[in-house]
Amino acid sequence: MRRLQVGLHIDGDLWEAGQITAVENHGFDLLTTGEHMVFFRPILDTITVLAYAAAVTRRIRLVPSTLILPLRHPTVLAKELTSIDLLSRGRLIASVGIGGDYPREFQACGVNINERGARANEGIEIMRRYWSGERFSYAGRHFQLEDVDMLPLPWQPGGPPLWICGRSDPAMRRAARYGDGWQPYMYTADLLAESVDKVRGFAAEIGRDLPADFAFTTFMYVAMHDDVAEARNRAIEQLSYRFNMPFEKIVDKYCAYGPAERIVEALRTYVEAGTNHLIIGLVMPEAGRMDHVARFATEILPALQAMGVR
């Protein structure tokens, strides 16, 4: 049995250097941040944030959660991720997805939203080949490269691990074929368990044995308050803003809320369903964020990190 890996999501918001360092000092295993190019609320660039975090931390793993791969040319992205992997001395995990929930950013980037899956598949193949150190050509539907290579190579041989994010069967097939991990979002524990079985099954279909350290990842929002109703109301208010949609009817599915023991038990269901990496998005006011982080690290994080995973 291994220890559950627990991350904190800073959601593309502006965090000061000392705050990021404090997340590491509190004992979290991962630091993640979000990505959108054109969005309805302020959000920072993922690559820039991770480079900033690499400079002020020493141990914590760094994860873009999640890069919208079709919006970026794979040559440029391979170079950016290589640079962060080197700057962090091998602490980068690259989580990539195809996006699509906000069509305006595809138009703004000049990318056909209906081609995002195929562009992502080609992008993964190209980045892997750059990171292998070979000199190669590539003739794809969306990308054509002639006699290219890339130096320096990443710190991690073969490049940073790739987690594939999504919700659909095609995303699971992408994870089974290309990924070092599977990262769904807005999933119940039951859906997570079903997806773990599907990814394993899709891998078996193509003759791939998933490695023992393959990451089955859960993202979950958490609202801490001793009064359950107040915690729920805070989650509804914050998540309705973050997703630009009403959250009253779905908050119970996608957010753990209440006092510490209630939250631990809600998150335990995901571990029992097969997750081995758990990313936490804390519902909290900006002015009091570090008090919330400290409270989570004191009251909840040790219980989560004590959970054994397959």
Evaluate if residue 292 carries a pLDDT over 80.
Answer: yes
β pairing state of 215-224 and 277-282 = parallel
3-state secondary structure of 81: helix
Give the predicted TM-score (pTM) of the model. Answer: 0.96
pLDDT digits (tens, 9 = 90+) for 230-275: 999 999 999 999 999 999 999 999 999 999 999 999 999 999 999 9
d(CA 182, CA 163): 5
Domain range holding 137?
2-309
Rg over alpha carbons for the chain, rounded to the nearest Å, is 19
Evaluate if residue 201 carries a pLDDT over 80.
Answer: yes
Question: Alpha carbon 147 to chain centroid distance?
Answer: 32
pLDDT digits (tens, 9 = 90+) for 50-84: 999 999 999 999 999 999 999 999 999 999 999 99
d(CA 293, CA 28): 10
> Domain count of the chain?
1
Residue 250 CB-half CA count within 13 A: 12
β pairing state of 144-148 and 136-139 = antiparallel
d(CA 242, CA 240): 6
Strands (E), 51-161: 61-64, 67-68, 94-97, 136-139, 144-148
Evaluate if residue 1 carries a pLDDT over 90.
Answer: no
Q: What is the CATH number of the domain that holds 93?
A: 3.20.20.30
DSSP states of 235-271 as a string? Answer: HHHHHHHHHTS--TTTHHHHEEEESHHHHHHHHHHHH
